[in-house]
Amino acid sequence: METYQIAVIGSGPAGEKAAIEAARLGAKVAIIEQGQEPGGAGVISGTMPSKSLRETVLYLDRLNNDRISGIERELGHKMTLRELMYRKDMVTALRVHKIRTQYKEAGVELILGKARLYGPHQIEIEQSNKPAIQIKADKIIIAVGTGPYHPPDVDFTKSKILDSDKILDLPEIPKSLIVYGGGVIGSEYASIFAKMSVPVTLVEPRGNLLDFLDPDLSSYLAQSLMANKVELHLGESYKTITADQNQVVVRLNSGDQLTAQYLLYANGRQGHSADLGLEKLGVELNHRLQIPVNNNYQTSLPHLYACGDIIGPPSLVSISNEEGRMAARHAVLGEPGRRITEAIPCAVYTLPELAMMGPTETDLIKAGVDYLAGACLFTELARGLILGVEEGLLKLLFERETKKLLSVHIMGQGASELIHLGQAVIAFGGTIDYFVNSVLNFPSLTSAYKVAALNGLARQSAV
């Protein structure tokens, strides 16, 4: 039986970074992936594929709706799904190749197969078309991630009912689509398919889309979706979901009945931990099959670690990367870790893009903070005019007396990149004076920070 110092189960962002970090620190490492290729959901069915499709759709939308270049163009034919998925397939293949290369260079052994713990340090790996193998590891890091939640009263064996793992394997561009769940995944896909001129109906059981966002951003997103002919049903939930070979019928508790060719169910996720053998070892799981850990990413068994989406929110690739590294460093060196709960930038890749850093106005009001807001519309900026943007907002929230920057909220092109300037200023305890007194490139969308800061100062002076 082959023995390793570190065995990592799952090759998504957390597992990948854990394996490479452990190997870099001199450990003998194996990483086990049950899929046909390494990368996990982030590479194969989630983050990178969906964002690649988004970029293709965004490019086509700019071609079709550019009103200021003065250039007439016509695509000449209706796009096929295969053409739309070309970038997604290329990006996935390139990323998989890169991951394999990194493992080889780091000396990490990649084992493809389904892992199951049959002892505290023993792992059995079922391989397709090969006999199962057993390995032993001094320490084990579980990074198996999560998958779409399937409620028991929805029949996912029906070809017209999809989850976020299946949506990119569609055989055709949908003639119509119902998206159930207005969280990150549901909102992103609703906006993408709407830009493809697919009639989309979005149902969200809560009263607002992405209710963790600042109310202004949530409201602007809803307005943008409706402008792209998305039919919104907020605060409504399904009573029944049925499907045949041609369509899906969703009956809402309000009495409304919705019909579409396909349904994307995107309302919750649960851990991929059910068949790992953890409960037999005494490892606790919560109701979503996620694994509780301490600040060092250890489970109730000290030699067994967990990191990434499998341990619960915030379920961001950026956080999973750091969790994987910290779990590996504690496993190899005993270096103390920490749970990352503060100073986290968040981006949602809807069309338009959204990003935030820090508390919302709702949070500040509840906390009794005396604050002011300063805002800038992208249409006010020279760069915005050059790009032809028709929507975009950057909002700063700051303490009234000290002018200390508390949070940044952005909607529009490049929001996920623009947020990092605000993140840096918040991290160093800066004030909005930084933006007022700094020289920023012209023309640039970054200059929205200066305009928003000046707007905030004007409001402060007016009070």
Q: Checking phi first, is residue 197 left (phi over 0); if not, alpha (psi -120 to 50) or beta?
A: left
C-alpha distance from residue 66 to each of 84, 255, 351, 357 (Å): 20, 41, 16, 31
Asked if residues 32 and 353 have their Cβ atoms less than 8 Å apart, the reply is no
Asked if residues 395 and 449 have their Cβ atoms less than 8 Å apart, the reply is no
Peptide bond just before 352 cis, omega within 30 deg: yes
DSSP characters over 294-322 = -TT-B-SSTTEEE-GGGG-TT--HHHHHH
For 456, phi then psi, to 5°, come to -65, -40
Computed on alpha carbons and rounded to an integer, the radius of gyration of the chain in Å comes to 24
User: Is residue 186 part of an annotated ligand binding site?
Assistant: yes
User: Is residue 12 part of an annotated ligand binding site?
Assistant: no
User: Is residue 187 part of an annotated ligand binding site?
Assistant: yes
User: Is residue 96 part of an annotated ligand binding site?
Assistant: no
Asked if residues 378 and 393 have their Cβ atoms less than 8 Å apart, the reply is yes
Token output for 272: 């991929």
E strands, 181-291, in order: 200-204, 231-234, 238-243, 248-252, 257-260, 262-265, 269-271
DSSP letter at 140 equals E
Of 11, 39, 27, the residue nearest 307 (C-alpha): 11
User: Is residue 204 part of an annotated ligand binding site?
Assistant: yes
User: Is residue 337 part of an annotated ligand binding site?
Assistant: no
User: Is residue 188 part of an annotated ligand binding site?
Assistant: yes
Amino acid in position 185 = I
User: Is residue 169 part of an annotated ligand binding site?
Assistant: no
DSSP letter at 404 equals B
Helix axes 86-106, 13-24, angle to 10 degrees: 20
User: Is residue 21 part of an annotated ligand binding site?
Assistant: no
| Exposed e or buried b per residue across 423-454, where buried means at least 16 C-beta atoms within 10 angstroms of its C-beta | bebbeeebbbebbeeeeeeeebbbbbbbbbbe
From the annotation, which residues make up the binding site? 51, 181-188, 204, 268, 309
From the annotation, which residues make up the binding site for FAD? 51, 309
From the annotation, which residues make up the binding site for NAD(+)? 181-188, 204, 268
